[in-house]
Chain A
């Protein structure tokens, strides 16, 4: 039997990232229609559209400041690059992964190597968290009353830049550019969580630093 409670995560997302004073009424309407038979998928779709509409409305009203905030945040991240000419945050563990496979580390060493990669990835993640928190804090300062849409746009800028960097790397070097070693595809994929951790930590850092993880009151349009 279908639960009478709408998806909790979706509700939390709208409460957290919605920035219209009408969001409480929107949530009430969504719950009412959900209880009258609408699907969970419908509820999710409605929540995502409501957030997108809220964000685009505020961003459109404050284009210049949003752009300035996004560019400033990206500049802060651009200073934090991995040592070689690789995409931002393609972590050192990927490069070590590649190096180890080139030199064919003996299988008995793989446990130690895994631990080493985990440590490296953990340290990179901590750095990502700190850089993310700092950039999130700066970006939120651009327009404290509209920090939610501005920070969400910054995260969208950054994800766009990361995707562009990854695509560029793949075009330039093939799958090796993202750490997938030919002949060792499965083993390479095992390192994926190590590579993703710093990226995720950076995003969490941005939300944390900008204060978006705390409860907030819708502030725009009032």
Chain B
């Protein structure tokens, strides 16, 4: 049986942020989206480490964008979810929903 590449918790969050942002996904909007949705401070270094792993797994692709003076002349790196990445997110969602289903302790926000 071949080993399937799976998504870690933070990787899944990054993938969801990427899907939500769409075309303009580079470090700043991704980290801002994660902070907005989770209410936690996010380290940009950790976001890039997760993106690098996702790229190695074939779930995202990246390309260099334009350099702006606001960024000290440094280019942005844009990320995009691949079809394989999208499929993996759906698989993970299905698995999580199945695991969630029927757990009385977690229903109604009691836990």
Q: Are A and B genuine complex partners?
A: yes
Question: Could you list which residues of chain A lie within 8 angstroms of chain B, going by C-beta atoms?
Answer: 20, 22, 24-33, 35, 45-46, 49-54, 57, 221
Q: Does B75 contact A (CB under 8 A)?
A: yes
Q: Could you tell me the distance in whole angstroms from the C-beta of A152 to the nearest C-beta in chain B?
A: 15
Which of B45, B51, B75 meets A46, CB within 8 Å?
Answer: B45
Q: Could you tell me the distance in whole angstroms from the C-beta of A15 to the nearest C-beta in chain B?
A: 11
| CA gap between A53 and B77 in the complex, in Å | 19
Residues of A within 8 A of B67 (CB): 28
Residues of A within 8 A of B49 (CB): 20, 53-54, 57
Residues of B within 8 A of A20 (CB): 48-49, 52
* Beta-carbon contacts under 8 Å, B9-45 to A: 26-28, 31, 43-45
Q: With A20-B52, A25-B75, A221-B52 in contact, do A31 and B43 touch (Cβ < 8 Å)?
A: no
Contact residues of B: prevailing secondary structure:
helix
Residues of A within 8 A of B44 (CB): 26, 29-30, 33, 46, 50
Q: With A26-B27, A221-B52 in contact, do A31 and B46 touch (Cβ < 8 Å)?
A: no
Residue pairs across A and B with Cβ atoms less than 8 A apart, 26 shown, are: A20-B48, A20-B52, A22-B52, A22-B77, A24-B74, A25-B26, A25-B76, A26-B44, A27-B72, A27-B74, A28-B67, A28-B72, A29-B44, A29-B71, A30-B44, A31-B70, A32-B28, A33-B31, A35-B70, A45-B43, A46-B44, A50-B43, A50-B45, A50-B48, A53-B46, A57-B49
Contact B45 A32 (CB under 8 A): no
Contact A54 B45 (CB under 8 A): yes
Contact A25 B48 (CB under 8 A): yes
| CA gap between A29 and B30 in the complex, in Å | 10
Q: Could you tell me the distance in whole angstroms from the C-beta of B41 to the nearest C-beta in chain A?
A: 8
Contact A29 B31 (CB under 8 A): yes
| CA gap between A14 and B71 in the complex, in Å | 15
Contact B45 A28 (CB under 8 A): no
Residues of B within 8 A of A25 (CB): 26-27, 48, 74-77
Contact B27 A31 (CB under 8 A): no
Q: Could you tell me the distance in whole angstroms from the C-beta of A29 to the nearest C-beta in chain B?
A: 4
3 nearest interchain CB pairs? Answer: A50-B45, A28-B74, A29-B27
Interface centre among B45, B48, B74 (most CB of A within 10 A): B45
Contact B46 A28 (CB under 8 A): no
